[in-house]
Amino acid sequence: MSDFIEIEGISGFGYHGLFDHERKNGQSFSADVKLELKDKKASKSDEISDAVDYSQVIKVVHQILIGEPVNLIEHLAQIIANALLERFALDSVEVVVHKANAPVGLPVRDIAVRIKRSK
């Protein structure tokens, strides 16, 4: 059995995309993460020192969303996954990056990319 932490709706204003107007004007992006924990100490000990610090996870994801522009949200999701796997004691991470205002020519509620990566 695994333990999971899920955080939804981490948002930030970034300049990701293929088109000049996306790089110039920017837009809102959001991400959801599902963390599979290597160490199940926190669920047994009830001690904060054994837990993954959610606030740090959120800060890492937010900094990437507002950080260096990339062309594709697939790549943005990969950068987030790599950063979380490197920084926290996780077995795997699932990342969903949402680009609700993607320039696709017709109205859509959301466009998202979901990836799952393991150590």
The series of mean pLDDT values per 10 residues for the chain, 119 residues long, is 93 96 96 90 88 96 98 98 96 96 89 96
Residue 83: per-residue pLDDT: 98
Domain ranges of the chain: 4-118
The hierarchical CATH code for the domain 4-118 is: 3.30.1130.10
Computed from CA positions of residues 59, 34, 81, 9, in that sequence, does the dihedral angle turn out positive or negative? negative
| Residue of 38, 59, 99, 116 marked catalytic | 99
Residue 31: closest CA among 99, 108, 109, 102 = 99
**Are 100 and 54 a contacting pair, CB within 8 Å?**
no
Residue 38: per-residue pLDDT: 74
Residue 68: per-residue pLDDT: 97
Alpha-carbon distance of 100 to 103, in angstroms, equals 9
Q: Three-state SS for 30? A: strand
Residue 6: per-residue pLDDT: 98
Residue 2: per-residue pLDDT: 85
Catalytic: 99? Answer: yes
Residue 35: per-residue pLDDT: 97
Residue 11: closest CA among 59, 51, 43 = 59
**pTM: predicted TM-score of the whole model, two decimal places:** 0.94
Alpha-carbon distance of 42 to 4, in angstroms, equals 11
Residue 12: per-residue pLDDT: 98
Residue 43: per-residue pLDDT: 85
* Residue 19, token pair as written in the block: 């088109």
